[in-house]
Amino acid sequence: AAARAMLDYAAKLTQTPGEITGQDVLALRDAGFDDRGIHDICAVTAYFAFVNRIADGLGVELEDSEG
């Protein structure tokens, strides 16, 4: 349940950040996350969004995964 709550929150924060409300944070608390855990979820989600935006802005292309 905790993993599902975390992933749902991260997806919402990524796709529709303006729709995050206190209820979303309460859902994380109800799933067992404390302040530090919620902060970490937000920070990691924001970091990945930041890095992706920088890569897109610089026109970085993905490497072939086969090497």
Q: Among 40, 8, 36, which Cα is nearest to 24's?
A: 8
Residues 27-40 have pLDDT tens digits of 999 999 999 999 99
Q: CA-CA distance, 55 to 26, in Å (whole number)?
A: 33
Query: Region 12-30: what's the mean pLDDT?
Result: 98
Band (pLDDT 50/70/90 cuts) for residue 22 is very high
Q: How confident is the model at residue 65 (pLDDT cuts 50, 70, 90)?
A: confident
- Break the chain into its structural domains and give their ranges: 2-58
Mean pLDDT to the nearest integer, 6-12: 98
Distances (CA, A) of 40 to 2, 6, 31, 35, 36: 14, 10, 15, 9, 6
Residue 52 has pLDDT above 90, yes or no: yes
